[in-house]
């Protein structure tokens, strides 16, 4: 390897490592204030005085009530409510777990920020912390509070079995101005944004038939002021989506990533209600809190498919797709699901089988491309003659060159980058599929090595963290980079490439990808690794075929 090439590889690796190590030092997240009051528990507790009180609280009648918690459970969720503000302080998904237990969708709760709390005024007003009267039914809980002027504020939560969606009705009587409804401050599972680069929190709005998405840095607030059908926040596998029955009654949506508890930023949506035009108003909300699965989210498109009897919600547009390549992603997903659901094949084996099938399909094109390259070498002397003959007449040169290609049966497109370009859509679709496909979450492949296809593999956990790599020793990234290097070496030899740029692509890029994708989901690395193993074998076979073809065409062996 040339010195310049080696130097370029070393410098690139140093830059990547230095950036990822120094970034959190130079640009640390601001320290968050520690809440003065702890989060309430499942046991009934006394009402606590707050250091910050909403100025609008004096509109309520004063009653001697104690703060209490109430639990409602369906076969899908376990919800803990507090009569302080009539809010949710815990929302666990009973069918979904992580390493800490059940998935908690009401995360980052504090005394001054709870799930589905109401504040009179805009998103900067304090939430209501008055104690509401409570009425509990089998599948419903009602919180209500009388006003001094005879008005009323009430919040009614209605639940159903076999549903991730619930209904929230907010009734306001005798109140001037508007109010703001908040989602949970954060959604589960709890994650470390510095370490888990494949997890995210994305703000969503469905507007004019299209998904609008936004990701914010910490301690930021941004507004969405266009018409919308629903809004919410989504992570990699779970989401909270809010569908007002009358979205036109809302002036705008606020997205917040405020840091309130330790250094864990919120991911909270706030719906700002317009000034109430009537003395008595009831706003209805359908709220989905659950997995990002198209089979579940699409249930709310047709009335007959869901228990609530609603239609036209299009919550499945909250899913992360490959844009214009979503059709290709859907095909790949259908193939995987057929193998797993119908043929009862393990998800990991299904990935390997699909990768093999894709390579078999792409092989004829790769072979044609290699043969086209040989033909290009065969007619190269004639092309050089044409270039010399028509060096002052570009139009004539192009015409004669095209004529020569036609006579020789050569397609320059196949000898170029077409095969590679055709693989790009596949790579993009596979990356998005393996990185967001809910069914891979918790899917076991090889116990003790790859227990979950949605996260990186692991053969050892260290008691400390290494820069970039973290505290997990993984095997798949090493296997992947070895076969990528071997494939690059064989490809370089086949093309007789000696340029420094080609050598950098051969040796430097695999090392860069090793660090970038060290913590990539195991499912994605299985696809890439198997793909490179197959490419290696495929290239060896093609090299042998091309050697025979060179002899047949009378070309020198290079």
Helix 476-495, helix 522-553: angle, nearest 10: 20
Is the pLDDT at 38 greater than 50? The verdict is: no
Return the closest-CA partner of residue 370 out of 251, 491, 284, 286.
Answer: 491
Identify each DSSP E strand in 225-300 by its residue range. Answer: 230-234, 238-244, 250-256, 259-261, 264-265, 268-273, 280-291
What's residue 532's pLDDT? 86
Q: How many Å apart are CA 554 and CA 449, to the nearest integer? A: 51
Greatest CA separation found in the chain? 102
Please determine, for residue 479, whether its predicted confidence score (pLDDT) is greater than 80.
yes
Q: Which residues contact 138 (CB under 8 A, 6 or more apart)?
A: none
Give the range among 423-437, 464-478, 494-508 with minimum mean pLDDT: 494-508
pLDDT at 258: 95
Cα–chain center distance at 337: 20
518-529 average pLDDT score: 90
Share of the chain above pLDDT 90, in %: 49
State the CB neighbour count (10 A cutoff) for residue 284: 15
Mind listing the domains of the chain with CATH numbers? 55-320 (2.70.98.90), 328-553 (no CATH)
Beta-carbon count within 10 A of 145 CB: 22
At 546, the pLDDT band (50, 70, 90 cuts) reads confident
Please report the pLDDT score of residue 136 as a whole number: 95
Query: Is residue 272 over pLDDT 60?
Result: yes
As a whole number of angstroms, the distance between CA 7 and CA 508 comes to 10
The secondary structure element, H or E, covering residue 332 is: helix 326-337
Report how far apart, in Å, the C-alpha atoms of 43 and of each of 37, 68, 80, 82, 90 are: 16, 8, 10, 10, 13
Residue-wise pLDDT for 210-264, tens only, equals 999 999 999 999 999 999 999 999 999 999 999 999 999 999 999 999 999 888 9
pLDDT category at 44 given cuts 50, 70, 90 is very low
Tokens of 2: 């040339």
Higher local confidence (pLDDT), 1 or 477? 477
Residue 281 near residue 174 (C-beta atoms within 8 A): no
Predicted local confidence at residue 193, as pLDDT: 78
DSSP-based three-state secondary structure for 11 = helix
94/237 Cα distance (integer angstroms): 15
pLDDT category of residue 349 using cuts at 50, 70 and 90: very high
């Amino acid at each position: 390897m040339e010195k310049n090439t080696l130097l370029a590889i070393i410098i690139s690796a140093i830059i990547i490592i230095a950036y990822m190590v120094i970034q959190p030092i130079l640009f640390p997240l601001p320290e968050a204030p520690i809440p003065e009051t702890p989060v309430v528990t499942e046991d009934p507790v006394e009402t606590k005085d707050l250091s910050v009180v909403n100025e609008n609280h004096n509109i309520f009648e004063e009653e001697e009530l104690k703060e209490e918690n109430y639990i409602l459970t369906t076969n899908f969720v376990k919800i803990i409510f507090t009569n302080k503000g009539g809010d949710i302080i815990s929302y666990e998904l009973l069918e979904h777990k992580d390493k800490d237990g059940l998935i908690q969708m009401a995360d980052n709760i504090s005394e001054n920020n709870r799930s589905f709390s109401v504040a009179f005024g805009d998103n900067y007003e304090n939430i209501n912390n008055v104690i509401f009267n409570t009425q509990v039914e089998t599948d419903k809980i009602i919180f209500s509070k009388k006003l001094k002027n005879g008005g009323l504020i009430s919040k009614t939560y209605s639940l159903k079995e076999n549903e991730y969606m619930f209904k929230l009705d907010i009734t306001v009587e005798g109140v001037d101005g508007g109010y703001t409804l908040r989602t949970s401050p954060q959604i589960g599972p709890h994650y470390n944004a510095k370490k888990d680069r494949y997890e995210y929190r994305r703000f969503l709005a469905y507007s004019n038939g299209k998904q609008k998405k936004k990701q914010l840095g910490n301690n930021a607030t941004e507004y969405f002021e266009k018409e919308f059908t629903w809004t919410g926040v989504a992570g990699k596998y779970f989401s909270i989506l809010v569908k007002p029955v009358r979205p036109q009654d809302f002036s705008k949506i606020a997205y917040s990533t405020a840091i309130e508890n330790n250094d864990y930023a919120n991911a909270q949506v706030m719906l700002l209600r317009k000034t109430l035009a009537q003395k008595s108003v009831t706003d209805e909300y359908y709220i989905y809190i659950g997995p990002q699965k198209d089979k579940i989210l699409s249930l709310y498109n047709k009335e007959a498919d869901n228990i609530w009897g609603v239609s036209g919600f299009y919550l499945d547009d909250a899913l992360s797709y490959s844009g214009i390549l979503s059709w290709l992603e859907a095909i790949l997903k259908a193939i995987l699901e057929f193998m797993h659901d119908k043929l009862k094949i393990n998800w990991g084996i299904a990935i390997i089988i699909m990768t093999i099938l894709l390579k078999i399909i792409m092989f004829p094109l790769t072979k044609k491309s290699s043969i086209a390259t040989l033909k290009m070498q065969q007619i190269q002397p004639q092309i050089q003659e044409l270039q010399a003959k028509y060096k002052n007449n570009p139009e004539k040169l192009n015409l004669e060159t095209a004529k020569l290609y036609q006579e020789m049966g050569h397609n320059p497109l196949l000898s170029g980058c077409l095969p590679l370009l055709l693989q790009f859509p596949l790579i993009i679709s596979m990356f998005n599929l393996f990185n967001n496909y809910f069914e891979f979450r918790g899917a076991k492949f090889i116990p003790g090595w790859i227990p979950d296809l949605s996260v990186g593999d692991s053969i050892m956990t260290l008691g400390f963290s290494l820069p970039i790599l973290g505290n997990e020793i993984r095997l798949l990234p090493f296997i992947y980079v070895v076969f990528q290097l071997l494939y690059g070496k064989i490809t370089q030899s086949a093309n007789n490439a000696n340029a420094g740029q080609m050598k950098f692509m051969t040796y430097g890029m695999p090392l860069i990808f090793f660090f970038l994708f060290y913590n990539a989901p195991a499912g994605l690395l299985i696809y890439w690794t198997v793909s490179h193993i197959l490419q290696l074998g495929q290239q060896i076979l093609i090299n042998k075929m091309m050697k025979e073809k060179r002899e047949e065409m009378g070309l020198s062996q290079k």
